[in-house]
Chain A
Amino acid sequence: MQKDFHYYATYCAAYIAGFSHDECLEIAYSAQFVDVCSRTLLKKINAPLQAATTQLQMELMDSRVDIFALHDITRIWTSFHFLPADLYAKKKWRTKVYLNRYRLICGPNGDLLVDTVDLAKGKTTQAIGIAMHVLADTWAHMYFAGTPSLVINNTNFDFFEIIKDEEGFKERKINFKHNVSMKDNIDSAVYVNCIYSNKEISVMNLGHGRAGHIPDYSFIKYRYMPAWNDFKLMIKDNPTDYFKAFAQMVYALKYIRGEYETFEKNTYDFKAIEKYSERIKEILEKRQPDASEDWKKLGEELSGQEIEDFDIEKYQSSYRTVPADMKEKSFIGKFVTAALAHKKMVTSRIIESNNTIAGFRL
């Protein structure tokens, strides 16, 4: 998912769930900050590097591919962008080394999602924002794993967009290019992806890199052949999934606010968004690479307040200048605390499941 959903749609969901305008802005800012909080940024502001929630292109390119670097990459990407759906998933005749990767496949409504939302309850708006980022990404990044793995994340030429037309649906072949300076061309179905690498743990095989940005676009419905799915085709319907993600965010945010006693899996607050559902579906289905303007407009209509654009620098100077003993209380300080707690929780669960890809206990 991108800024349009993580920032503006999260703002809308938080407002519908009953948070104030200022709280919504903080939640949305934190949700989007997950996508930019790299070690490079943390280093710049002198914050703890372990709190990184993403890795920049250059950081990934220069990372080693030894066991410790693999742990580091997996901790970041599974915790914040590819939350595993089932850490104890079974598959006949698979080796342990294969299952370790298979069990990290991201998906919605897993036990870890419940733990994520529970962890954010009663915490700061930063913690809530992080949880919303993670929740939303379980829908967008479904079927990919947050660890470099060819046997899980590879895709092949069999990749088609399913487009609505007068007669129902038609399929259009998706072509991939590896030129990173190029932009995705939605009209001619040409998308940028990571180049094929036959090395199992190459960073080219991390997450949905082989499928390019396609999983991040709300409008697209596509079918493809995932490397792990027993040679069966898979259909991914982003507009439907993103709609569910939005309804689940509203439900989760209401739970965090105390409207519900427990957070249940497979539960969505469709009722709360009924009034706006046509509008939301329209935004989600509109063929555009970035829906920020439409979400922003909806958010401003909902709250009657202006939603400022996401500014990466917004809280950095205050964190740098605040005295050391007060850093934890600053906006980024609270984000760092929440990010560390979340990463620790997810990593511990993975290690407890006897999976050594994210680390091991001696």
Chain B
Amino acid sequence: MTFFQRFRIILYGLVQLAMGIIMFAIPEDGTRLALLMVGLYLILTGYKNIWYYLVMARFMVDGRMALIQGVIMIDFGYLASSITDVPRIYILLYLMIMHAFAGLVEILRALEEKRFGEKHWKLKFSHGIANLVIVILCVVFIQNNTFVVMIFAAGLVYSAILRVISGLRKSSFGYIH
């Protein structure tokens, strides 16, 4: 991992941590704010991906993935930022779906890393499992809105801490001569 990549992961973890704390402090509006931030992040990243596809990746083997990722991210991003004016339960449901999706991706990536012999796959795997457990807890207690927000916020804090740890840990890659 490069210095810049580490910096980005840690920064992302800190933003996530801040979101979790805000949701703890003001459960009524915290969810809307979280959704807005997630939406903004997805839209910007999506456009960045599409731009990369247009100027570079379309000439590359498997480059279409950049376009597909970009379109999906923008789609999710706009959806996320446009549902701030609906009852909190729907926002929570949406956030939970996203959280579950992120957890699933994390597990799949961890298993891929395990298959390729990476040593640090367990941290990623436990991160994914924790994401899924939080979503399940949220679904179980869905009737109690404030409690669900608290569970979700706790999940965000946990996820943020793991992200910061993974940004600080030692990493390695094959070295060319």
Contact = CB atoms under 8 A, between A and B. Distances in A.
Interface of A: 1-2, 35, 56-57, 60-66, 81, 94-95, 97-98, 101, 150-151, 154, 156, 176-182, 192-195, 198-200, 202-204, 206-209, 212-213, 216, 225-228, 230-231
Given A177-B116, A182-B117, A202-B5, A193 B174 contact: yes
A228 B174 CA distance: 22
Given A63-B3, A81-B177, 17 more contacts: A1-B177, A56-B175, A97-B55, A154-B61, A156-B61, A156-B62, A177-B116, A180-B173, A180-B175, A181-B119, A194-B174, A195-B173, A198-B66, A199-B5, A204-B173, A206-B176, A228-B59
A61 B171 contact: yes
Nearest to A229: B61
A177 B56 CA distance: 27
B2 A62 contact: yes
Contact of B174 (A63, A151, A209): A209
A64 B175 CA distance: 17
B61 A57 contact: no
Interface in B25-50: none
Contact of B173 (A62, A182, A194): A194
A302 B78 CA distance: 72
A64 B172 contact: no
A158 B154 CA distance: 44
B84 to A, nearest CB: 30
The 7 closest A-B pairs by CB, nearest first: A179-B117, A178-B116, A151-B60, A65-B4, A194-B174, A57-B175, A177-B117
A64 B63 contact: no
A154 to B, nearest CB: 7
Contact of A225 (B1, B2, B52, B61): B61
A202 B172 CA distance: 13
Contacts of A154: 60-62
Contact of A216 (B2, B59, B62, B177): B177
Contact of A179 (B2, B3, B119): B119
B60 A227 contact: yes
B9 interface: no
Contacts of B1: 61
Interface string B101-134: 0000000000001001111000000000000000
A213 B56 contact: no
17 contacts: A61-B2, A61-B171, A64-B4, A98-B56, A151-B60, A154-B62, A156-B61, A156-B62, A177-B117, A178-B118, A179-B117, A181-B119, A209-B175, A213-B174, A213-B176, A227-B62, A230-B59
A112 B115 CA distance: 42
B57 interface: yes
Contacts of B66: 198
A6 B62 CA distance: 35
B83 to A, nearest CB: 28
Given A151-B63, A178-B118, A228-B59, A208 B4 contact: no
Contact of B176 (A63, A208, A230): A208
B48 to A, nearest CB: 11
Interface in B120-177: 171-177
B55 A209 contact: no
Contacts of A97: 55-56
Contact of B2 (A101, A202, A227): A202
B60 A150 contact: yes
A200 B63 CA distance: 11
Contacts of A60: 2
Contacts of A35: 177
Contacts of B174: 178, 180, 192-194, 209, 212-213
B55 A61 contact: no
Contacts of A216: 177
Contacts of B173: 57, 61, 178, 180, 194-195, 203-204, 209
Contacts of B52: 200
B53 to A, nearest CB: 10
B170 to A, nearest CB: 9
A160 to B, nearest CB: 15
B176 A179 contact: no
B124 to A, nearest CB: 12
A159 B142 CA distance: 50
